[in-house]
Chain A
Amino acid sequence: MSNEATIGQAHAAHAHPDSHGHAHGHEHHEQHFIMKWIFSMDHKVIAKQYLITGIIWAIVGALFSVFFRLQLGFPEDTFPIMEKFLGHWAKGGKLTPEFYYALVTMHGTILIFFVLTAGLSGTFSNLLIPLQIGARDMASTFMNMLSYWVFFISSVIMFASLFVQTGPAAGGWTTYPPLSALKEASLGSGIGMDLWLISMALFVVSQLLAGLNYITTILNMRTKGMKMTRMPLTMWSFLFTAVLGVLSFPVLLSGFVLLIFDRHAGTSFYLSEIFIGGKALSHIGGSAILYQHLFWFLGHPEVYIVMLPGMGMASEILSTHSRKPIFGYLAMIISLLGITSLAFVVWAHHMFVTGMSPFLGGIFVLLTLLIAIPSAIKVFNWLTTIWRGNLKFTVPMMFALGFVSLFISGGLTGIFLGNSALDIHLHDTYFVIAHFHLVMGVSSFFGMFAGIYHWFPKMFGRFMNNTLGYIHFFVTLAGAYLIFWPMHYEGFAGMPRRYYDYSAWESFKQFGSLNAFISIVVIIVFFAQLVFVFNFFISIFKGRKVTSPNPWGSTTLEWTTPINPGHGNWEGDIPEVHRWPYDYKDDGNGNDFVPQHIPLKPGEEGH
């Protein structure tokens, strides 16, 4: 399928049956506001929609963490301001345990799925795939729009569940049955849980629509000369991210469907021999562990769905701002492939203490620790990329460097948790919290921030403010370490996660002042994120204007488009690609880079 033909279809869907099937975006200025900004099929607009929805969700998710950190840091105190936000869930300014658990659950659900999956891949896969492979839009522009709107409906349902009388889901983001299956077990397992399941089912649909589109576009719609081995690493990472999602999200959906049946149709997939609420239930023969297998079959690949885009963008940004090619391009692709393949066969390392077969556990230990090898390769390659570079400390570069640091710190602790014998003691303690927040929470966020600062000029034709960017960077990086580094110690001490109050525990109460310290840092970091949000929205309208189409001196195709590209991206023909994406070398004219669309000089060797 040629790009021109596809854009022709897009036009037809736009009710523009004009004769120029291959006409480009600049002819669309008569479009109605609603078609242009709301029900748009332009991948760049959909990317912005994902990003802004993601930012709103991130504020909600982060605010929830501030609320529950207030409880954890100051279990004796009351905070009247919480009552303003949460009403009877925080009567007199003190969170109820039920709502504490609801906040913890929603914090996880929102940040993992709505921000770091939809907000991250949704934004950058949409924005960059057509721009970097040289396509006018996605393979199916309509499906692309649909994926956003299904995500939007899913968001609305999840948001609505926050206002239910019995509260939103409160069984943890993993929602293990029987806790999540039986309304007698917890307040949050009532209507809140139903809404959670419906919302998440729709979310899966949206991810599948999006993922299939990303894969198809990357495989079929590359411009002339854009061989797979000439694609930027961002493209490779988005491709693998989409493959992970398409293969594992359906398994999660099946898990949810069975859970819905258990809740409402009287089946016993996950339920057996339960006495609750003063009576014995009739369910016999199900296995609560089955759900965990189905959940983690997505749940673990999900970690990489969150991680890979950050890896791809950090690679791209480190190379661009070091003015130096990425080191080991092929090794980077192979390690991405390795991570992707292994991601499917490590899920049970989340279940070492469920009483699983020790032999099976042993296999999962082996496979889990294997995944550390491609991760190590990536780290060493990033370090070699900046070695002897000409490092420009722009804001995106700072975040990419922060990403590398956080990925190392968080990744190394995975070696503890993946080794079942060590996991026994550390499982479900603060060590786990520290590990996954650093590696897939904060470092993915750093990848995302790096991407936002780097591609903001492409999105809005303006720069974000640098000073605010640097403040945001240093407060967030220092804050992340101050919050999560000491948590490793709490984990070594066996302090369980998801506790509302530790003061009654002889073994864990000694961390009271540390918890208070962490909570204060959380509040500061939260405000630093507001600085970012503020910078983001103000800069859309007031930011310094971009004057050159290629402000970072980058080699990839997105910078060959006009500063504010219309639907269709390029005004003339799509450029042809002649070289690999990281040709940061002397071009003979005093520039230190050669863009991908510049033909090889006579006698010049390609990569």
Chain B
Amino acid sequence: MSGLIVTALVVLVFIVIYQIAKASELATILRGEEKVQLQTNRLMAWLMLAFFVLGLIGIYKCHVDLIDKMLPESASVQGDNYDQMLIVTLALTGFVFFVTHIALFYFIFRYQSTPGRKAYYYSHNNRLEVLWTTVPALALVTLVVIGLKNWFAMTDKPPADSMVVQIMGKQFNWIIRYPGADGVLGKTDFRLINDANNVLGLDWNDPAAKDDIIVENGEMHIINKRNVHLVINSRDVIHDVGLPHFRMKMDAVPGITTTMWFTPKFTSEEMKKKTKNPDFVYEIACDQMCGKGHYSMRGTVIVQTEAEFKEWIGGQPSYYSLHNEAKPAVPAETEPADSASTGGTAMQVSTIY
């Protein structure tokens, strides 16, 4: 019933608007079309001017309101280059935006039709056209040069001393794997995946797999100021590892391994102080639509000092030891880390990481 009333009201409003509009049309005919056209033209010129001025105020207001909600300073070394490039591009495009809009709205107001006004017949000017072909071309070349320099630096091979971490996307969370004491990620095969005891499909015939550490809650620990090389995979559909604070992003594609690397600059604790937000956390956002839970596919990154990290990883048992306890102990020579004490593991880690 209420729906009906609302609909009726909306229809009524439309009819009223239409009647007013119709009346103005009739008035036009009564008062003489030319006169009304002149008045309308003047009114529109003023309204466009008003729109422009209000628009500028709006742009300013929007900026003031939102600037505090932007991301804090980049948390990665690579992100610094990114931010610099962003500012250069913003300055350049901003300049073009304001110049063209000032011209547009100035011309609109200045050259509005008035009685007796004649348009200037001006069909082309080769010099002008060459000018505004070459100037944008030069500006764009500058941007391309900066862009490609950063692009090739970012997509270059990760430095050899990087710590390797695998991140695997699945509907709808992230699984993190560390190579364990041997520093090598063991082989996997998707046909071995089993949600109960082998979420990544590790191949137990590969000795390198047995010391791998898996974190299933999507919490990635990395070491501050140490290059991190992410090995990115997906188990089902395409996901995307989005790390806004580090200005990084890369798709996770089933059947294909992608990578990215970066150098974190601030630990999570430092960032909490920097942003004055005790709840601050580096988040991993899935940036590729992956199904109904896409919006909740959240992971976190904990950037720690080397000592903190060693302590943390030392407390993490290997995935094999967690899920294959029923089996008899594996021969020691293939499982050095497993049989070692916690302290031993930490030592091993320190040589690898």
Contact = CB atoms under 8 A, between A and B. Distances in A.
A-B residue pairs, 10 tightest by C-beta: A494-B244, A272-B255, A355-B258, A393-B44, A358-B155, A421-B150, A499-B295, A419-B147, A467-B21, A388-B120
Contact of B14 (A98, A179, A326, A530): A530
A81 interface: yes
Contact of A185 (B146, B150, B237): B237
B132 A377 contact: yes
A361 B155 CA distance: 10
Contact of A419 (B25, B143, B240, B293): B143
Interface residues of B, number: 117
A327 interface: yes
Interface of A: 81, 84, 96-98, 101, 170-172, 176, 178-179, 182, 185-187, 271-276, 278, 280, 284-289, 322-331, 353-355, 358, 361-362, 365-366, 369-370, 372-373, 376-377, 379-381, 383-384, 386-393, 398, 401, 404-405, 408-409, 412-413, 415-416, 419-422, 424-425, 427-429, 465-468, 470-471, 474, 477-478, 481-482, 485-486, 489, 492-494, 496, 498-502, 504-508, 510-511, 514, 527, 530-531, 534-535, 538, 542, 544, 582, 584-586, 592, 607
A164 B281 CA distance: 41
30 contacts: A97-B295, A274-B235, A289-B253, A323-B119, A324-B119, A354-B253, A358-B156, A365-B151, A369-B140, A372-B136, A373-B140, A380-B132, A386-B107, A388-B122, A393-B41, A393-B44, A398-B44, A401-B48, A409-B97, A412-B96, A413-B93, A422-B86, A427-B287, A467-B20, A468-B21, A489-B70, A496-B287, A501-B295, A507-B244, A534-B18
Given A324-B121, A478-B51, A425 B140 contact: no
B237 A496 contact: no
B144 A389 contact: no
A283 to B, nearest CB: 8
B235 A428 contact: no
Contact of A390 (B96, B113, B136, B250): B113
B236 A373 contact: no
A497 B208 CA distance: 39
Contact of A531 (B14, B112, B295): B14
A179 B129 contact: no
A507 to B, nearest CB: 5
Interface string B85-101: 11001001100110011
B59 interface: yes
B341 interface: no
Given A324-B121, A393-B45, A482-B58, A273 B292 contact: no
A237 B111 CA distance: 27
Given A185-B236, A276-B171, A510-B69, A427 B249 contact: yes
Contacts of A380: 128-129, 132
Contacts of A289: 253, 256
A492 B63 CA distance: 12
Contact of A376 (B136, B249, B290): B136
B51 A384 contact: no
B111 A391 contact: yes
B96 to A, nearest CB: 6
B259 A187 contact: no
Contacts of B66: 486, 489, 514
Given A327-B123, A422-B89, A424-B154, A366 B144 contact: yes
A171 B289 contact: yes
B244 A425 contact: yes
Contact of A401 (B108, B113, B136, B147): B108
A522 to B, nearest CB: 16
B69 A511 contact: yes
B122 A324 contact: yes
A97 B289 CA distance: 12
B346 to A, nearest CB: 31
Contacts of B155: 358, 361
A377 B191 CA distance: 56
A416 B89 contact: yes
B336 interface: no
A467 B93 contact: no
A328 B129 contact: yes
A383 B103 contact: yes
B37 to A, nearest CB: 8
B259 A494 contact: no
B286 A496 contact: yes
Interface in B116-143: 117-125, 128-129, 132-133, 136-137, 140, 143
Given A372-B136, A429-B287, A393 B251 contact: no
Contacts of B128: 380, 384
A498 B242 CA distance: 14
Nearest to A187: B292
Contacts of A427: 249, 287
Nearest to A281: B190
Interface string B306-342: 0000000000000000000000000000000000000
Given A365-B148, A366-B144, A373-B136, A387 B111 contact: yes
B119 A179 contact: no
Contact of B147 (A273, A390, A420, A511): A420
Contacts of B201: 275
Contacts of B190: 273-275, 280
B291 interface: yes
B254 A178 contact: yes
A273 B69 contact: no
A404 B104 contact: yes
A409 to B, nearest CB: 7
B71 A504 contact: no
